[in-house]
Chains A and B, each alone.
Chain A
Amino acid sequence: MLTKRIIPCLDVTGGRVVKGTSFTNLRDAGDPVEQADFYYREGADELVFLDIGATPEARDTMVHVVEQVARQVFMPLCVGGGLRSISDMRRMLQAGADKVSVNTAAVQEPQLLKESAAVFGRQCIVLAVDAKRREKGKLSWEVCTHGGRKPTGIDALAWIKQAVDLGAGEILLTSWDADGHRAGYDNELNRAVSEMVSVPVIASGGAGTLEHLYDALSIGKADAVLAASIFHYREYSIKEVKEYLAGRGIPVRQ
């Protein structure tokens, strides 16, 4: 049986892992290669690197980070943040990434999904979506771009459907409302997307407890859960997460 994936997310800028509660309050959290190796040994199922600097100079550094990590850890790596073109994507894939995620660039130029899927295969192309709820209690979300800072007015569900038709092979779905609050994922969003599309959905944004992870995979019907702070601050190890989920009947790789 296909297992549910547990995915730590590492925010990287200037070749260092950073963590913080907002873009302005970042702390150095170590070397990305060491961090990746740590999660690999802990039994993470995949790693996501988010280049939060995403300037051209930062991207050169990121390529180097990906090359280093790919020599050390033997699990799937996804890289995102500021990738705008086929050539940006190619550099990351050649450096050793298995997948690339695109967000703002795909909203601005949806054909990028079609072209990149044709070149690299759709399994390489992850659509990252920051979805903000339009009205409390209503099952309607709006796409935000530029790291969640810019609302676009675009309906998130319609966009995701279009993106999958174009070539996205997986959805990395972040709830704008839940992200950073550690009060649980938006499982209405996760479920709506997971039931709508035929590709895997990674739930992101809001993990604070083990039960939150369980809820995203059960109620939210997500195929994978991504979390940052609960892993970075060593509140839970990957092993603890998997033991907990297995105990509640979720298939995980142990």
Chain B
Amino acid sequence: MNKASKRIAVIDYGAGNLGSVANALTKLGYRPTVTADPSEVFKADAVFFPGVGDAGDTMRSLESSGMAQVVKELVGMKRPLFAICVGLQVLLSATEESGEHDCLDIIPGRVRKLPQGLKIPHMGWNQVRQLKTHPIFTGIDDNANFYFVHSYYADPRDRTVVAGVTEYGIEFCSMIIRDNLVATQFHPEKSGEAGLTMYSNFLEIVCP
């Protein structure tokens, strides 16, 4: 099937730089829809769930817009979902950001602050060591560099979901894969050819 005919939704919940994810998907030949409408999101062949900024604020926006429930249901149905940065963090049970805040509890575990003593935010290009053999990594070297900008990291309780790790003071989980859910702490849409390849692989896998 033609790429342009795939229904790709980028979730809009009133926060985050949605344009860059849509730009990257457009560059790959898709026609993404940036939408705040749950029915549009449910109809999509694949859904992108971006996020920047504060996880506590993001949770409030998700709850007030009804998107929190939408994301939970999509993952429950094992529908293809790609979560990015704070989009990944809110999948966990709770975050230490803004005091303490409950999150979506889709991936059991906590979001913790990066250790003291290093520059925060962790900002720039860092390596992702691949812990799984998975077609999402096709054409992407092990330890390829991706662009990060964050102060907190996900610490999932079930380590078998961890698909990639990155070192910054500690080794932290920078990528999660579970069924049709892929989540990255880094920003593929800002990570040059390696990032575009990752989005392309995801879409080839989940809606060939």
Chain A positions within 8 Å of B, measured between CB atoms, are 1-5, 40, 43, 45, 70-72, 74-76, 93-96, 98, 120-124, 169-170, 198-200, 223-224, 253
B17 touches A200 (CB 8 A): no
B119: A residues at CB distance < 8 A: 198-200, 223
Q: How far in angstroms is the closest Cβ of chain B from A82? A: 21
B168: A residues at CB distance < 8 A: 2
> Once the chains are docked, how many angstroms separate the CA of A98 from the CA of B50?
13
Of listed B20, B124, B149, B167, residue having the most chain A CB within 10 A: B124
Given contacts A40-B192, A200-B123, contact A3 B145 (CB under 8 A): yes
Given contacts A2-B126, A74-B195, A200-B123, contact A121 B19 (CB under 8 A): no
> Once the chains are docked, how many angstroms separate the CA of A71 from the CA of B148?
20
B53 touches A76 (CB 8 A): no
Given contacts A45-B124, A200-B119, contact A70 B192 (CB under 8 A): no
B195: A residues at CB distance < 8 A: 74
Given contacts A70-B19, A71-B27, A121-B53, contact A76 B126 (CB under 8 A): no
In the complex, whether B12 has a CB less than 8 A from a CB of chain A is no
In the complex, whether B137 has a CB less than 8 A from a CB of chain A is no
Q: How far in angstroms is the closest Cβ of chain A from B24? A: 6
B52 touches A2 (CB 8 A): no
Known: A3-B124, A45-B125. 7 other contacts (CB 8 A): A71-B23, A74-B189, A76-B147, A96-B23, A120-B53, A123-B151, A169-B121
> Once the chains are docked, how many angstroms separate the CA of A74 from the CA of B28?
12
A76 touches B190 (CB 8 A): yes
In the complex, whether B36 has a CB less than 8 A from a CB of chain A is no
Q: List 8 A-B contacts (CB under 8 A).
A: A1-B127, A2-B122, A71-B23, A74-B27, A98-B17, A123-B121, A200-B121, A224-B124
Chain B positions within 8 Å of A, measured between CB atoms, are 17, 19-20, 23-24, 26-27, 52-54, 119-127, 145, 147-151, 167-168, 189-193, 195-196
A74 touches B126 (CB 8 A): no
A74: B residues at CB distance < 8 A: 20, 23-24, 27, 189-193, 195-196
Report which of B17, B124, B151, B196 forms a contact with A2, defined as CB distance below 8 A. B124
B52 touches A121 (CB 8 A): yes
A123 touches B126 (CB 8 A): no
B20: A residues at CB distance < 8 A: 70, 74, 96, 98
A76: B residues at CB distance < 8 A: 147, 149, 190
Q: How far in angstroms is the closest Cβ of chain B from A187? A: 17
> Once the chains are docked, how many angstroms separate the CA of A95 from the CA of B22?
12
Given contacts A98-B190, A199-B119, contact A5 B196 (CB under 8 A): no
B126: A residues at CB distance < 8 A: 1-3
In the A-B complex, the 3 residue pairs with the smallest Cβ-Cβ separation, listed nearest first, are A121-B53, A253-B145, A253-B125
A122 touches B24 (CB 8 A): no
A70 touches B190 (CB 8 A): no
B124 touches A200 (CB 8 A): yes
> Once the chains are docked, how many angstroms separate the CA of A192 from the CA of B149?
24
B52: A residues at CB distance < 8 A: 121, 123-124
Given contacts A75-B192, A199-B119, contact A223 B17 (CB under 8 A): no
A70: B residues at CB distance < 8 A: 19-20, 23
A71: B residues at CB distance < 8 A: 23, 26-27
Given contacts A96-B23, A98-B20, A123-B52, contact A75 B121 (CB under 8 A): no
A43: B residues at CB distance < 8 A: 192
> Once the chains are docked, how many angstroms separate the CA of A94 from the CA of B190?
15
B193: A residues at CB distance < 8 A: 74
Q: How far in angstroms is the closest Cβ of chain A from B187? A: 8
B123 touches A170 (CB 8 A): yes
> Once the chains are docked, how many angstroms separate the CA of A114 from the CA of B147?
25
Q: How far in angstroms is the closest Cβ of chain B from A92? A: 11
A95: B residues at CB distance < 8 A: 19
B17: A residues at CB distance < 8 A: 93, 96, 98
